[in-house]
Amino acid sequence: METKRIYLSSPTMHGEELEYVHEAFDTNWVAPLGPNVNEFEKETASYLGGGYAAALSSGTAAIHLALILAGVKRDDIVFGVSMTFAATVNPIVYLGARPVFIDSEPDTWNMDPEALEKAFKKYPDARAVIAANLYGTPARLDDIKDICVRHGVPFIEDAAESLGALYKGRKTGTIGDYGILSYNGNKIITTSGGGMLYSKDEEAIKKARFLSTQAREPERHYEHKEIGYNYRMSNVVAGIGRGQMKHLDEHVSLKKDIYMTYRSAFSDIEGVRMNPYEDCSEPNYWLSCLMLDESVPAGPLDIMTALEKENIESRPIWKPMHMQPVYKDADMICAGSECYCEKVFDRGLCLPSDIKNTKEDMDKIISIVRGCLGAK
């Protein structure tokens, strides 16, 4: 008999999603746009505390449009955090702009404000900053925002992994000039695919909606004065999102339980740490991660291999962008002589964080990890 598969983070559906999907079918609203899209945008903006949102085909599309709204043009410099998924920074290149990567800091594993300041000294004409909230943990968002304000550049906050997290009492995705959300299959809630662009600037969101529907002018015939994109979310997909939104806080709570269970289980093992966060923030705990000091004899690969043998999914930490072959020519800015994100990549791993995990699942995972670490 095949061993039960334990996933890293799989979709969790509840049933309400089908009500909105059936409504879309019953009313024949199955093409892009429609009532579900409109309501999903309103419900998301309301959840975030006000403002405006544009439902799109992906979080990547949202970053692309945010960069356009920020005025980024060919050959402009854009600062992006290095330790993230490629989707955070690839849209910089879509526009012919030049990415310059920024290191992470130890307290959150997110963009290091000290390194960002150093980057502005080297590239004072940089056009925008993109920082991500890694694995659901808020970055030092006020520090990054203040630096951007002082240098007069827009701050794009990639909250694709952190929907539902709080920073100093504010929802992540709302601290930057533009906020990015993602509903990919493994996120805290999912629409199977899709994303959202958020801003407090209503005109910016109107412009994003215009660009995301091929920049079609309001004429009887098809009139285009700008290059547009096919980036709008479908009404069916938005229906799934509306059903998922009803369970977002529940999902965050379950993710937190997983994180705290791991933290307690490994607290007695020297040199083993969970992914950190600041006291002023409340992550959404999307993925629970471990970092092993070099003094620990086992490495991340040992743990991932042991879990894999038991049909348990885990994952390496995001490989920093400045280490990726496709970005080998891009500059990398670190606060000190060494890049901290390289250490996290080398000694870190993501543990199974599926909210459907049972107590027996968690006990099994913990037992395997502790065994790898030489602990009973």
CA 139 vs CA 67, 176, 320, 340: distances in Å: 20, 11, 16, 15
Q: Which CATH architecture has domain 248-372?
A: Alpha-Beta Complex (3.90)
Tokens standing for residue 219: 């004429």
CA 80 vs CA 54, 129, 191, 274, 341: distances in Å: 23, 6, 26, 24, 13
Tracing tokens 């150093």 back to the chain, one arrives at 118
* pLDDT value, residue 1: 60
What is the average pLDDT across 342-350? 98
What's 56's DSSP letter? E
- Output the CA angle 275-157-230, nearest 5 degrees: 120
AA letter at 270 = E
Nearest-angstrom CA–CA distance, 51 and 337? 41
Does position 157 have pLDDT exceeding 90, yes or no?
yes
How do residues 108-155 score in pLDDT, each as one tens digit? 999 999 999 999 999 999 999 999 999 999 999 999 999 999 999 999
What is the average pLDDT across 263-287? 98
Q: 53: closest CA among 192, 189, 166, 212? A: 212
* pLDDT value, residue 250: 98
248-372: same fold as 16-245? no
Q: What is the CATH number of domain 16-245?
A: 3.40.640.10
Q: In the chain, what are the domain boundaries?
A: 16-245, 248-372
CA 359 to chain centroid? 27
> Are the C-beta atoms of 321 and 90 separated by less than 8 Å?
no
Nearest-angstrom CA–CA distance, 39 and 49? 15
* pLDDT value, residue 2: 72
N- to C-terminal Cα separation, the chain = 28
Does position 51 have pLDDT exceeding 70, yes or no?
yes
* pLDDT value, residue 39: 97
Exposed, middle or buried: residue 215 (CB in 10 Å: 0-12, 13-18, 19+)?
A: middle
CA dihedral for 166, 169, 173, 175, sign (positive or negative): negative
